Structure 1
């Protein structure tokens, strides 16, 4: 009996040692490119929201990855791209080193390029201009919201991802780029030769409507949730209060989002105590972010939203709508209810991985549904200079609402 047990122990220990040496040998045999590929697989394996990985055997995917012939780093990136395609989820994506670097610059509040915000139209697949940053090279070239970017330096944008197109538009100060643009205004195609420059990305446009007797309306347009957005918003509210603002319009139209924390911090500037957003991870564990104290102002607030209002913008809009802090006016929002985290890889590239989904304070899941405004007001394309003017129907409706709100408050 003891002899059999000793043989079993010997066999078991031998098996463990054999497995260890095999695994160690495999690890040493891996090339740098294979290690990078498996590093990406590991991050997804531990962090990705959908633990079914789009209903596929994720470990079998790993085995298949090791069969790839990865002669160059670009071969590795393409293999990672192919792995991500199997997830069938566009927000989880690879950022090559230059793309990752550019994203860090943009979220920091500075940019080298032409000054275009772009998106892929979900219905047509066209590369569409969200907006031209004021006083940017693209702005002075006459490129406006809803124009289509057909070619970048002669390369069709149909062959480029959104990140690739954005990367091609960025570049050293003083270098030239040629953009082939289809104008949404006159339905013609133009070629624009543009010189790249340094662009300071102040995320806010601030002014005050003083044409109404006894009612000054503060207007704040937020273009993106960058690292400095909350601090800039705080300064804007304080400035407008000193100028006599009695109510506010916060314009989130065509704001694609950005940093999650930015949306939370800005909500705290406007909200009383209460939940801002719930997040749910792959284990189904729910967490929440809340507003803790007194807002900078309790004055009436209207949020302007449209189909370009997405991500962190929707978190802010959902929080202010559910808490009844603001009235939403405009069109249904984009509907992105997923949260991504950035994971830097060993070669300075990065994976943006969907790690959670979110719900509004009333537990609404708005992914692919969007947020319905309290007052639906449709509006056609506007040039940058027409925003917040008499030609801006949604803006004028917001002013009309606030005038009526003010009258009722005075009567009450």
Structure 2
């Protein structure tokens, strides 16, 4: 269980039913007779009255993002809407207007428009920015229903994507049914169907649009390793499609696929100290199920004093690499820490480079293993800090062994939460480069056709109150991304060298 307290002192447990005033369960034809004689502004207010929205009070909105999985209320609410107030003839006083400016007849909402309204409603209720990127959200809804084609499912999906893009938030995104199903499975399963390679984005001069897709490490025994793919290789194309400037989500779509399917990677290896890319080479691979472990670890002996490991010790450190946070991560970290304790190590290394996050609760649980007390993370929505997750001394496993936390620009989300908690509480020395800066929390909202939305609902803050979004966690010891080895065997060799880098404070 998470040790969890609320800054406001109010319960976040949501009701399991729709609002008592939910008009969604009344026949649409009955609504028309009652609503058509009312001013348009009042109709708009009633359209949004079935639940907390951007125009509702703070108490109505409070906690809504935690219970958005129940899409039934949003679906039923959308089903009650008519387009009388949304698709009226031009101007309120047009030939089709009623005596009070409302339309004389309402048009039925199509199934495709209903799906769009579900998506609009989810953002209206949950999105962290109640200014919606400077947009009048109700007018946006009207404009889309009037102007965007929604004759079939693909057109509706396109309209939803366009709606979400208007928020200028890359983490609030549409999930087709297949991608939603995969997303739900990826956070829990211990295998993936693909080519067995861990990748990250490295920026060239010119900004994110010039980012390169770089291999961090191929999975041991996987298709990539067998084909000679090496750490540091740049994947410049997949099946002929250039990868420069793509997102990690797009890269995942390109690299993963059905078992037995093939793909061709175009690889370039950096040459010399300037890192200039060598000539491209092509490697053909066949996707297969690759079992991966989110945690790997090794006990390093004979560690050089130049690392800063405490004097008079045995010269041993426990190296723990965490590549993602999922249901297996906590058990893996516990096993690693116990191995280190049995070996009598003088220091711990927690390597979270290129760990993009994953399960937020798992990140909090790992923090509890290392902290004797204090706050771990603050969660803030549009109304300020709502939740505080704190350490639990009863769950701690090692709160005193010197700790070195390795991060880079690929360290994001739950990994940044953990790094920020360890830094602010003085528990670890942060080593590497400034982290990615993804301090946003998403919730997944299921839509009625099996698709869904990932909606940004809140922000992380470190215990000191630092908003890390687009800022990241600043290291205590700056080390070039290429200066530290990756993997237990390579790290142990590097730390035994007389000129090993300093990694402990």
TM-score normalised by structure 2 residue count = 0.70
Residue 390 of structure 1: how far off its partner (Å): 4.2
Q: Deviations over 1:354-381 (max 9, x none)?
A: 1111111111112222211111122437
State how many pairs are aligned: 389
Aligned to 1:305: 407
Aligned to 2:239: 153
Deviates more, 1:194-203 or 1:174-183: 174-183
- The 1-side partners of 2:167 and 2:495 are apart by 40
2:179 is aligned with 1:93: no
- The 1-side partners of 2:107 and 2:195 are apart by 46
Q: Deviations over 1:65-122 (max 9, x none)?
A: 2132223322222211111111111111112122222222321132111123345556
Contact 1:118/1:127 (8 A) holds in 2: no
2:424 is aligned with 1:339: no
2:172 is aligned with 1:69: no
Aligned to 1:35: 114
Contact 2:264/2:283 (8 A) holds in 1: yes
2:419 is aligned with 1:288: no
After superposition, the Cα gap between the structure-2 partners of 1:392 and 1:198, relative to the gap in structure 1 and judged at 3 Å, is farther
- The 1-side partners of 2:485 and 2:261 are apart by 26
2:183 is aligned with 1:80: no
Deviates more, 1:157-166 or 1:360-369: 157-166
Residue 198 of structure 1: how far off its partner (Å): 0.8
Aligned to 2:18: none
Q: Deviations over 1:143-175 (max 9, x none)?
A: 345543332223333696543431232122222
Deviates more, 1:78-87 or 1:278-287: 278-287
Deviates more, 1:194-203 or 1:377-386: 377-386
- The 2-side partners of 1:395 and 1:372 are apart by 27
Deviates more, 1:86-95 or 1:179-188: 179-188
Aligned to 1:132: 217
Aligned to 1:106: 186
Residue 24 of structure 1: how far off its partner (Å): 5.7
Aligned to 2:97: none
Aligned to 1:47: 126
Q: Deviations over 1:238-266 (max 9, x none)?
A: 22222332321111111111111111111
Q: Deviations over 1:171-198 (max 9, x none)?
A: 2222211122233355221212111111
Q: Deviations over 1:377-404 (max 9, x none)?
A: 2243778568515458999756x555xx
The SS at the match of 1:29 is coil
Aligned to 2:270: 184
Q: Deviations over 1:261-308 (max 9, x none)?
A: 111111001111110000101222431101111421121111111121
Q: Deviations over 1:296-324 (max 9, x none)?
A: 11211111111211111111001001111
* RMSD of equivalent CA atoms: 2.9
- Given the alignment, which residue of 170, 188, 202 partners 2:256? 170
Contact 1:127/1:162 (8 A) holds in 2: no
Aligned to 2:377: 277
- The 2-side partners of 1:71 and 1:396 are apart by 67
Contact 2:485/2:494 (8 A) holds in 1: no
- The 2-side partners of 1:267 and 1:218 are apart by 17
- Given the alignment, which residue of 246, 265, 287 partners 2:346? 246
Contact 2:198/2:219 (8 A) holds in 1: no
2:296 is aligned with 1:210: no
- The 2-side partners of 1:93 and 1:169 are apart by 20
2:491 is aligned with 1:388: yes
TM-score normalised by structure 1 residue count = 0.85
Contact 1:144/1:384 (8 A) holds in 2: no
After superposition, the Cα gap between the structure-2 partners of 1:271 and 1:384, relative to the gap in structure 1 and judged at 3 Å, is closer
- The 1-side partners of 2:321 and 2:201 are apart by 22
Contact 1:99/1:163 (8 A) holds in 2: no
Aligned to 1:367: 469
Aligned to 1:5: none
Residue 25 of structure 1: how far off its partner (Å): 5.2
The SS at the match of 2:187 is helix
- The 2-side partners of 1:192 and 1:42 are apart by 46
Deviates more, 1:167-176 or 1:385-394: 385-394
